Structure 1
Amino acid sequence: MTEARGSAGRLNGTTHAGRTPGTPCWVSLMVHGMAATQDFYGALFGWEFQPGPQQLGPYARALLDGHEVAGIGQLPPDRHLPIAWTPYLATDDVNQTAETVRHSGGTVGVGPLDAADAGRLAIASDPTGAVFGIWQASEHLGTGITGVPGTPAWNELLTRDSGSVGKFYQGVFGYELEPVASAGLDYVTLYIDGRPVAGIHGVGSDLPRDRGAHWLTYFEVADTDDAVARVAGLGGRLLKPAHDSPHGRMATVADPEGAVFSLVHKAA
């Protein structure tokens, strides 16, 4: 993780309107036990839920203080897909972006299709197999607030090496790529208009064989150690213990269905 948006020290988060293309604008999770998953994240982050567009099956939007922050949907019983948080990247034209993904060596697995009046989406994967969403907003602009506990703070692609896949995302979304100048660290920060919006972390042989390349979402918390304890108490698992970094105190955990995510209390 390099730079995350917002500041953990603020009492009020930053609300957002339209997104520049390429900006992460939403995170969504598809699970088998939708009610139990809502209970888990509701207790962990203080989320409440309201029904959302159901083109892909039952779906609910998570709300924090009345602002939409994430989505949780129901997988069909016969679909045995990896349970994982998926970031959605903004676009002004999902059809064109989906075509660019295909021509750049990626795959479009779902869509493009309309999500009622909310917008238009596609679900794609990059050449390494990491899954991400593409979102063309209409009534639903995406995550409504950041910078406070319970909101997405950062999205990071974990892959074998950052080189070739960085060029894929640059070609599709127009990112500026800035490698981190640190010996032994393969990390590229993705910038839009001079702002860091996401990262690509090449982890080499540490990439989990059972998962392959994947996107990891960081959620902001008020106290990382307390949040880790609550995850365990709610039936989740600790994967990487809480530790201090230049960007704050963070840990990696999994929910009861196995969806992996990170917790971060950002450095002041």
Structure 2
Amino acid sequence: MAVRPEGTPCWADASFDDPPAAQDFYGELLGWTFGESAEEYGGYTQASVDGELVAAISPKMPGSDEPTAWNLYFATPDAAATAARIRENGGTLAEEPVQVGSFGTMVRATDPSGVPFCAWQAADHQGFGRTGEPGAFVWAEVCTRDTRKADAFFPVVFPFEVQRMVSDKVDFNVWKVAGAPVAGRLRMTANFPEAADPFINVYFAVSGVDDTVATAVRLGGQLLYGPTPSPFGRFAPLMDPQGAVFTVIDTADTEGPMPSFD
């Protein structure tokens, strides 16, 4: 697989207090199967659909007080250069770039508006083996209340072309790489709990959102709102039983005209 263009989402993972329970939840909900845990990397376990990598689950580090959340990785050809741009533009590095064996080099950071994210310089691990199909990553949105800071940061750290949705109801930008949409930026409004921290909302594709929501609730998850029709697909934000928020979307189930962008 070719290395993804810089700024393209290339991987997603999450750390849990109870990884086996998380595997049971996502395995039944999204059809994931799991490989062997890499004990030398803290029990990191990759998930697949039909033999193609889609995400990973791991235990939380001992003593960690970080909330349970999905992490999104943006591709970079040079982790050190990306880390330098993060620092120069007001972001915060969790640590200097870390080489992860022969797999690649990781950057963990937070943007000036408080959104955690990662960057990945691929080596042996190229990231997603499948995207845009049921059970796999399909989209992501940076959700923040301080859009001014996020808008001044991400398109400088990564080569994003920015298009703003023409709307008096939603403050939303699409980020493109080489003309192709790769992610979005959404202003958090009263629809979000007041105590909710800025985050990246990771979308997984499904076939049939309503049935997926019913399964999630049966497994102990929570429907946050919806399901909601849209021209991009019927979608529903969910919280898994351990508190990680994500969204499922059926991109084949569309409704309404596409919005305009300037």
Decide whether the 8 Å contact of 1:158 with 1:207 is kept in 2.
no
1:232 CA displacement: 0.9
- Unmatched 5+ stretches in structure 2: 255-262
- Unmatched 5+ stretches in structure 1: 1-15
Which residue number corresponds to residue 119 of structure 1? 104
Which residue number corresponds to residue 31 of structure 1? 16
Which residue number corresponds to residue 236 of structure 1? 221
1:157 CA displacement: 0.8
1:66-97 Cα distance to aligned partner (Å, 9 max, x none): 11110111102421211000110000111111
1:150 CA displacement: 0.2
Which residue number corresponds to residue 142 of structure 1? 127
Which residue number corresponds to residue 114 of structure 2? 129
Question: Which of 221, 237, 240 is residue 206 of structure 2 equivalent to?
Answer: 221
Question: Which of 179, 187, 192 is residue 194 of structure 1 equivalent to?
Answer: 179
Decide whether the 8 Å contact of 1:160 with 1:205 is kept in 2.
no
- Structure 1 residue identity aligned to 2:20: A
Decide whether the 8 Å contact of 1:217 with 1:261 is kept in 2.
yes
Which residue number corresponds to residue 266 of structure 1? 251
Which residue number corresponds to residue 5 of structure 1? none
> What is the total number of aligned residue pairs between the two structures?
253
Q: Percent identity?
A: 38
For 2:122 and 2:224, locate their aligned partners in 1 and report how far apart those are by CA, in whole Å.
34
1:247 CA displacement: 1.1
For 2:154 and 2:37, locate their aligned partners in 1 and report how far apart those are by CA, in whole Å.
29
For 1:63 and 1:85, locate their aligned partners in 2 and report how far apart those are by CA, in whole Å.
16
Which residue number corresponds to residue 197 of structure 2? 212
Decide whether the 8 Å contact of 1:148 with 1:220 is kept in 2.
yes
- Structure 1 residue identity aligned to 2:79: V
Which residue number corresponds to residue 256 of structure 1? 241
1:11-61 Cα distance to aligned partner (Å, 9 max, x none): xxxxx5310010000011011101111111111111111136556521001
Using the size of structure 2 for normalisation, the TM-score is 0.92
Decide whether the 8 Å contact of 1:161 with 1:201 is kept in 2.
no
1:181 CA displacement: 1.0
1:257 CA displacement: 0.2
For 1:111 and 1:28, locate their aligned partners in 2 and report how far apart those are by CA, in whole Å.
19
Question: Which of 227, 230, 234 is residue 245 of structure 1 equivalent to?
Answer: 230
Q: Is 1:18 aligned to 2:31, yes or no?
A: no
Superposed, which structure 2 residues align to 1:74-153 within 5 Å?
A: 74-153=59-138
- Structure 2 residue identity aligned to 1:135: W
1:205 CA displacement: 4.5
Please provide the CA RMSD for this pair. 1.6
Decide whether the 8 Å contact of 2:44 with 2:57 is kept in 1.
yes
1:182 CA displacement: 1.5
Using the size of structure 1 for normalisation, the TM-score is 0.90
Q: Highest relative contact order (Cα 8 Å, sep 6+), 1 or 2?
A: 1
Which residue number corresponds to residue 70 of structure 1? 55
Q: Determine which structure has the larger strand proportion and give its number.
A: 1
Decide whether the 8 Å contact of 2:221 with 2:241 is kept in 1.
yes
